[in-house]
Amino acid sequence: MKILGIETSCDETGVAIYDDANGLLANQLYSQIKLHADYGGVVPELASRDHIRKTVPLIQAALKEANVVPADIAGVAYTAGPGLIGALMVGASIGRSLAYAWNVPAIAVHHMEGHLLAPMLESNPPEFPFVALLVSGGHTQLISVTGIGQYELIGESIDDAAGEAFDKTAKLLGLDYPGGAKLSKLAEQGNGARFHFPRPMTDRPGLDFSFSGLKTAAANIIHQHSDNHIIDAQTKADIARAFEDALVDTLVIKSRRALDQTGFKNLVIAGGVSANQTLRNRLTELMHQRKGQVYYPRLEFCTDNGAMIAYAGMIHLKAKQYSDLAINVRPRWPLSELNAS
């Protein structure tokens, strides 16, 4: 049984075809980074228009890559939220229309469930139960996962998400958009002992995050060490290193607490920030110490992609959880509202 997955929640157009017997057959992705770079961030209207231009050609390319025809497709999955409403409407409209034309079920997929299940695409998938750390530009969440559809939110950011804090701090350092990965690369050249930033909300109980104060601390240091808005290269690297260390430490501390609270032995990390090598190394060390296991998606599946939507859609297709003819998207959609399959 094969399913087509469509992802258009923000600034990447992803289309994939997944087969429940043979795995991923096709994975097409188009990034809008160059389109939004001049604006220093995603422009929703431009994102929507670009999805309109790219989605159908990518579907055609995916069908060709997988060597299948529409008659081979058993269902169409699309991201219904959360995300930018205009961008979501593009994928939902195309996905729902194709499903109607091909006379197959349509499946509305939660974007963050797609990220959470992305490690299931690997040859060594995690077993339930596990704690999931979802870290991206729009979300930082800790989820207790006891099965498909059985998700309990146990911690989240009360302000900026981790990826958002990375990008905003990178912009303060004068790095080009998207700056998170560039900041991490710059941090490799930094002296970790020169500056020390706070580890927000780690001095009190609980699993929630807050990164806006960390970004403000970085802004203050940048201001103190700049001369007429110019800062030397080594100081930039040292600030980047201190910022990354503080953010990663915070994520590791909260993940440890979540594992203590749940008693689970497995940890999943997914979302764009899960590609950060420092974070991966620290969490690997943490789980080695705890005699547990950490699971990641491959790098290409850390950012938004159609493969994770196709996989999540296949699970819901098998459970006969279909969407009706109405085209509904939810820019805000708590993961906890998903029903168990």
Residue 138 marked in a binding site: yes
E strand spans, 88-176 = 106-110, 130-135, 140-147, 150-156
Helix 233-262 and helix 180-187, axial crossing angle in degrees, nearest 10: 110
> Which pair of structure tokens corresponds to residue 266?
């497995």
Is 36:54 a contact under the CB 8 Å cutoff? no
Q: Which pLDDT belongs to residue 341? A: 43
Return the exposure string of 107-116: e unless at least 16 CB atoms fall within 10 Å of the residue's CB, then b.
bbbbbbbbbb
Q: Which pLDDT belongs to residue 129? A: 98
Statement: 2-117+301-337 belongs to CATH 2.60.120.10: no
Enumerate residues 6+ apart whose C-beta is below 8 A from 143: 116, 131, 132, 134, 151, 152, 153, 154, 335
Residue 228 marked in a binding site: no
d(CA 27, CA 65): 8
Q: Which pLDDT belongs to residue 152? A: 96
d(CA 58, CA 29): 8
293-295/266-270 β-pairing: parallel
Residue 23 marked in a binding site: no
The 3-state DSSP composition of the chain as helix, strand, coil percent (nearest 5) reads 45, 20, 35
Closest CA to 16 of 77, 69, 100, 91: 77
> What residue ranges do the domains of the chain occupy?
2-117+301-337, 127-296
Below-50 pLDDT ranges, the chain? 340-341
Residue 276 marked in a binding site: yes
d(CA 257, CA 237): 30
Closest CA to 89 of 112, 103, 108: 108
Do 127-296 and 2-117+301-337 fall under one CATH topology?
yes
- Name the one residue in this structure whose structure tokens are 């991201």: 79
| Other C-beta atoms lying within 10 Å of the C-beta of residue 192 | 12
Residue 184 marked in a binding site: no
Domain 127-296 fold: Nucleotidyltransferase; domain 5 (3.30.420)
DSSP string, 205-270: SSS-B--HHHHHHHHHHHHHT-BTTB--HHHHHHHHHHHHHHHHHHHHHHHHHHHHHH--SEEEEE
d(CA 338, CA 151): 8
Residue 110 marked in a binding site: no
2-7/73-81 β-pairing: parallel
Q: Which pLDDT belongs to residue 13? A: 98
Residue 135 marked in a binding site: yes
pLDDT in tens, 190-235: 999 999 999 999 999 999 999 999 999 999 999 999 877 789 999 9
Q: Which pLDDT belongs to residue 339? A: 58
- Name the one residue in this structure whose structure tokens are 């930033």: 197
